[in-house]
Amino acid sequence: MTELTGWLVLAGVLVVFELFTGTFYVLMIAIGMAFGAIAAALGFSLPVQVLVAAVVGVLSTGILHRSRFGRPLRQDAARDPNVNIDIGQVLHVDTWNDTKARAMYRGALWDVELAPGAIAGSGNYKIVELRGSHLVVANA
């Protein structure tokens, strides 16, 4: 097996591994391996091929990490509708005691708090956050 074939097989194995893991970082290392294959095709020695593959792999991984694709948006789980299905739902509050109330929601009695900037009054409210057993709501 030639060096070129070895680099291409390694890159192919990493691409398949990336398909199973779903991380783009493994794909960046596979790109480095492909550049190692290019260096082998151009006739460079094995140490130069390894150096090219390492440099390209590290640089592409660093570029990915600094991009918007490398850092997922960090959102508080208490406010994330992908984590909690109650976020964005509407409930009815009859009476308020200052900024707190009790309301029926999904068949149970919940403690309800006003979100900053929300105005207390009888009516429908949108759930914007969950703090333990307290629903934080804003005007709907």
Query: For residue 133, what is the domain's CATH number?
Result: 2.40.50.140
More confident residue, 65 or 59: 59
Close Cβ partners of 101 (under 8 Å, ≥ 6 residues apart): 93, 94, 95, 111, 112, 120
124 beta partners: 92
Task: Identify the domain boundary among 46, 66, 86.
Answer: 66
My answer on whether 82 and 127 are in the same domain is yes
Span 60-68, average pLDDT:
88
Region 64-72: mean pLDDT is 78
pLDDT of residue 74: 67
In a domain, 135, yes or no: yes
Q: Predicted confidence band at 23 (pLDDT cuts at 50, 70, 90)?
A: confident
Q: How far is Cα 115 from Cα 138, in angstroms, rounded to an integer?
A: 5
pLDDT band at 82 (very low <50, low <70, confident <90, very high): confident
Is 71 part of a structural domain of the chain? no
Domain of residue 118 covers 77-139
CB contact at 8 A, 10 and 49? no
pLDDT of amino acid 27 = 92
